[in-house]
Amino acid sequence: MTKKRVATVWLDGCSGCHMSFLDIDHRLLDLADAIDLVYSPLVDFKDFPDDVDVTLVEGAISSEEDLEKIQRIRSKTKVLVSLGDCAVTGNVPSLRNPVGVGPILQRVYLDEHPLGAAPDQVVPKLLPAVRPVHSVVQVDVYVPGCPPSADTIFHVVSELVAGRIPDLTDRTRFGA
Partner 1 sequence: MSRVVTLKIDDRDVSGRDDETVLEVARENGIDMPTLCQVDGLSSVGACRLCLVEVKGVPKLLPACTTYVTEGMEVWTSTERINRYRRQIVELLFSEGNHICAVCVSNGHCELQNLAIRLGIQHIDYPYRYPKATVDASHERFGFDGNRCVLCTRCVRVCDEIEGAHTWDVKGRGINSQVITDLDQPWGESPTCTSCGKCVNICPTGALFEKGKSVAEMTKRGEFLPYLTTMRGKKQR
Out of 29, 98, 113, 117, the residue judged to bind partner 1 by CB under 8 A: 98
3 scored as a contact of partner 1 (CB under 8 A): no
User: What is the rounded CA–CA span in Å between residue 170 and residue 25?
Assistant: 23
Binding region for partner 1 (CB under 8 A) out of 30-38, 49-57, 90-98, 150-158: 90-98
R_g of the chain computed on alpha carbons: 17
Provide the minimum distance between the beta carbon of 129 and partner 1 in the complex, in angstroms, as a whole number: 7
Burial-class residue 23 by CB neighbours within 10 Å (0-12, 13-18, 19+): middle
Q: How many CA atoms lie within 13 A of 122 on its CB side?
A: 2
For residues 111 to 130, the per-residue mask of contacts with partner 1, x marking binding by CB under 8 A and - elsewhere, is ------------------x-
Neighbours of 10 (CB within 10 A): 19
User: What is the rounded CA–CA span in Å between residue 54 and residue 175?
Assistant: 24
Provide the minimum distance between the beta carbon of 139 and partner 1 in the complex, in angstroms, as a whole number: 7
User: What is the rounded CA–CA span in Å between residue 98 and residue 130?
Assistant: 10
Binding region for partner 1 (CB under 8 A) out of 3-11, 69-77, 106-114, 163-171: 163-171
- Measured from the CB atom, is 37 or 136 closer to partner 1? 136
82 scored as a contact of partner 1 (CB under 8 A): yes
Question: Which of 63, 58, 62 lies closest to 80, judged by CA?
Answer: 58
Positions in the binding site for partner 1 (CB under 8 A): 82, 85, 88-92, 94-95, 97-98, 129, 131-132, 134-135, 139, 142-144, 146, 168-170, 172-175
